[in-house]
Amino acid sequence: MNDTDISGRVALVTGASSGLGMRFARVLAASGARLVLAARRVDRLEALAKELRADGAEAITVALDVADIASIPAAVARAEQAMGPVEILVNNAGISRQARLEEVTEADYDAVMQTNLKGAFFMAQAVARRMIALQIEGRIVNISSVAGIRVQGQLSTYSMSKAGMVAMTKSMAREWGRHGINTNAICPGYITTEISADFLPTPGGQKLLASLPRRRMGEPRDLDGVLLLLCAGEPARFLNGSIITADDGFSVW
């Protein structure tokens, strides 16, 4: 991958059926990438793929629950069969459970870790194996969170999973860099999505806004620039193992 853009590159985005994953897919498609959209909710993926195709992009859908580890290699194989080898992975799928530490159940703990950390690891592994075998200079972008840098109250398992992803990213960069694969992570701060939109007008939402450095939430578009940089070829060739916070200063506030 030596181009200065991502035009024509095959990009796989997990968790593409909503929120940031949907935004990432649209941004990459607008920049000329050929999209593989992966998530559990296939109906929403198909609607997004139809939208992207109407705008002139190439896009296919792959049903995938990253928590089902055994299904990951087959999903990567389907993507490669349909679009060619994956050159960019946006490892975005994730879930959260809110509870005080003393109230966390084993089931909730396992669900968060299985998706956010274990699923993300084996997703990256499956893609990286093909990159190594085919000698592809690839890009892996892990979507962590500011919660992996600055622990958040009542989000203990989520924070632990995202901190684990930070360490995972550095490990991948160290081992796979010699194969030409650059692995980096984005740690978004508080971003307005369909999940948070209903929460913001509530007293809890207003309290959250008051705690932010500039009393504002981010928008999904605020991550566009860093995403495109980390997916690029030559401009990103020296970025490997970087953990980039995009949080309006929240992690240092």
Please identify every residue annotated as catalytic.
158
| pLDDT computed for residue 214 by the predictor | 94
Cα 117 to Cα 137: distance, rounded to the nearest angstrom: 24
Answer for the pair 125, 50: CB distance below 8 angstroms, yes or no: no
pLDDT exceeds cutoff 60 at 215? yes
| pLDDT computed for residue 196 by the predictor | 73
The pTM assigned to this predicted structure is 0.95
pLDDT exceeds cutoff 80 at 203? yes
- Which domains occur in the chain, in start order? 10-245 (3.40.50.720)
Mean residue pLDDT of the chain comes to 94
Answer for the pair 177, 241: CB distance below 8 angstroms, yes or no: yes
Residue 159 makes CB contacts below 8 A (sequence gap 6+) with 145, 147, 148, 151, 152
pLDDT exceeds cutoff 50 at 4? no
| pLDDT computed for residue 195 by the predictor | 65
**Of 3-7, 10-14, 96-100, 218-222, the least confident:** 3-7
**Mean pLDDT (whole number) for 219-231:** 97
Please give the residue that has the higher pLDDT: either 196 or 95: 95
pLDDT exceeds cutoff 50 at 1? no
**Mean pLDDT (whole number) for 2-15:** 84
**Of 97-101, 121-125, 221-225, 227-231, the least confident:** 97-101
β-bridge mates for residue 39, sequence order: 63
**Mean pLDDT (whole number) for 135-159:** 94
